[in-house]
Structure 1
Amino acid sequence: MTKSVLKEFLDEKVELYNNPNFIESDPIQIPHQFSLKEDIEISGFLAATIAWGNRKMIINNSKKMMDLMGNSPYDFVMSHSENDLEKLENFVHRTFNGGDFSTFIKGLQHIYTNHNGLETVFSKNIETNSMQKSISEFKKTFFEISHQSRTQKHISDPLNNSAAKRINMFLRWMVRNDNKGVDFGIWKTIPTSALSCPLDVHSGNVARKLELLSRKQNDGKALSELDKNLRELDQNDPVKYDFALFGLGVFEKF
């Protein structure tokens, strides 16, 4: 398949899947319940954090998280009491437990109280066509609070060769603005060109079949290779092809 034919094929798939019908089967439905910027950010960040495994379970457990915060995530983050945090103790999603949840609430409070919010932290340390250093520095800032070392595994560090799929997905949600009704585009300080594809088993397998990716593991090096090839198709909005790769993998079993 020539590059122009491949681009045409993938652009058609982006059009097919990048519309509001996509929302009902995707964790992005969680932040779509809210209208306040901070509620969208926090609910999206928490839903993306537990976005691994069965998609139905991810969505159900994300809804449980919102219920435990009284469906007012920003207010809960900023004004919770120790008693409120105790109510989170029984939450579990795979290896993310109630203790991790409480730590994330405290980490988010730290980000909003001392660092002017999630967007401000992520918009620092952006390099040309790359959010990798920014994500790594975000993780350091997030865990400036007292925490158990085990909780750190729930935020990936791309500088340790992680594909950081969940954070890259969250950044796509917040930054992309194409007026299609799926991604929010509420963060104006980060260029879409710097975003990376959320690389998982589905998008990775499709990318290999389309010869956009040769590396076998879904790691940081694979992400770098995929990003480079997607930027050759669209340098300004390479991550739009996540819709095509994911849709082909999950919905079409390509």
Structure 2
Amino acid sequence: MNFNELKGFLDEKVNQYNTLDFIETDPVQIPHRYQQKEDIEIAGFLAATIAWGNRKMIINNANKMMNIMGNSPYDFVMSFTEDDLNKADGFVHRTFNAEDFKYFIRSLKHIYTTYNGLENVFSENQTTDSMQEAISKFKTVFFEVDPLDRAKKHISDPLNNSAAKRINMWLRWMVRNDANGVDLGIWKSIPTSKLSCPLDVHSGNVARKLGILTRKQNDAKALKELDTKLREMDSNDPVKYDFALFGLGVFEGF
């Protein structure tokens, strides 16, 4: 396929998969249950944090986290007691366990108390062309109080050559705002043009088969290569092509 044919093909797949039906089988359904901005971003962040492995298991365990927090994530984060935190005992999603969960709750409270919220940390550290430095800064902020070493692996750092798939996916949820209703678009201080594709095994394999990614590893260098190609197709909303790449890989076995 030449450039125009490839763009047309991917645009068609975006339209096919960027629909409300997508929500039914995706972890994005977790933040969709809330109305308050802070509830949405906390629910989304926690769901994205455990978004690896079987999708049904991800959704089930994200629901368990919401239940532990009384289905009021922001209120829980801002007013928890030690007894409240102990409700997380026994929680586990693969390598993310109750101790990680408790630390995440404490760190989120620190961010809302000290930095005026999650959006503010990212918007104040965005660069001219991407959010990767902001993601790195976010990790520094997240672990600046009584850091739990075992939890650090659950937040990636693009400046250490990670593709940061889960945070880039969460940023897509928070920032993108179109008429289709999958992404929530509650953050207004970050332009969609700076978002990056959540690069994982599915989107990476499809991108390679389509010839828009040559690097074999799914790392920060591969993400930059893929971002460059997707920005050529749509400089204002390059991350919309995540729907096409993911859909082709997961639903069509492309």
TM-score, normalised on structure 2? 0.99
Please give the alpha-carbon distance, in whole angstroms, between the structure 1 residues aligned to 2:241 and 2:36: 28
Please give the alpha-carbon distance, in whole angstroms, between the structure 2 residues aligned to 1:146 and 1:133: 23
Alignment of 1:23-42 (within 5 A): 23-42=23-42
Alignment of 1:48-197 (within 5 A): 48-197=48-197
Please give the alpha-carbon distance, in whole angstroms, between the structure 1 residues aligned to 2:13 and 2:207: 13
Q: Kindly report structure 1 stretches of 4+ aligned residues shifted beyond 4 Å.
A: none
Structure 2: 5+ residue runs without aligned partners? none
SS in 1 for 2:5: helix
Q: Per-residue CA shift, 1:10-41, capped at 9, x if unaligned?
A: 00000000010000000000001111110000
Q: Per-residue CA shift, 1:217-254, capped at 9, x if unaligned?
A: 10111001000000000011000000000000000111
Please report how far the alpha carbon of residue 113 of structure 1 lies from its aligned counterpart in structure 2 after TM superposition. 0.5
Please report how far the alpha carbon of residue 144 of structure 1 lies from its aligned counterpart in structure 2 after TM superposition. 1.2
Which residue type is aligned with residue 51 of structure 1?
A
Task: Specify the alignment match of 1:212 in structure 2.
Answer: 212
Q: Per-residue CA shift, 1:81-128, capped at 9, x if unaligned?
A: 011111112110000000000000001000101100000001122112
SS in 2 for 1:87: helix
Q: Per-residue CA shift, 1:194-223, capped at 9, x if unaligned?
A: 000000000000000000100001011100
Please give the alpha-carbon distance, in whole angstroms, between the structure 2 residues aligned to 1:183 and 1:9: 22
Which residue type is aligned with residue 120 of structure 2?
T
Please report how far the alpha carbon of residue 147 of structure 1 lies from its aligned counterpart in structure 2 after TM superposition. 2.7
Which residue type is aligned with residue 123 of structure 2?
S
Q: Per-residue CA shift, 1:176-211, capped at 9, x if unaligned?
A: 001211001110000100000000000000000000
Please report how far the alpha carbon of residue 148 of structure 1 lies from its aligned counterpart in structure 2 after TM superposition. 1.8
Please give the alpha-carbon distance, in whole angstroms, between the structure 1 residues aligned to 2:43 and 2:67: 11
Which residue type is aligned with residue 24 of structure 2?
E
Q: Per-residue CA shift, 1:62-98, capped at 9, x if unaligned?
A: 0000000000000000000011111112110000000
Please give the alpha-carbon distance, in whole angstroms, between the structure 1 residues aligned to 2:39 and 2:148: 26
Which residue type is aligned with residue 181 of structure 2?
G
Task: Specify the alignment match of 1:232 in structure 2.
Answer: 232
User: Percent same amino acid at aligned positions?
Assistant: 72
TM-score, normalised on structure 1? 0.99
Please give the alpha-carbon distance, in whole angstroms, between the structure 1 residues aligned to 2:122 and 2:105: 18
Please give the alpha-carbon distance, in whole angstroms, between the structure 1 residues aligned to 2:240 and 2:155: 23
Task: Specify the alignment match of 2:248 in structure 1.
Answer: 248
Q: Which 10-residue stretch deviates more, 122-131 or 163-172?
A: 122-131
Structure 1: 5+ residue runs without aligned partners? none
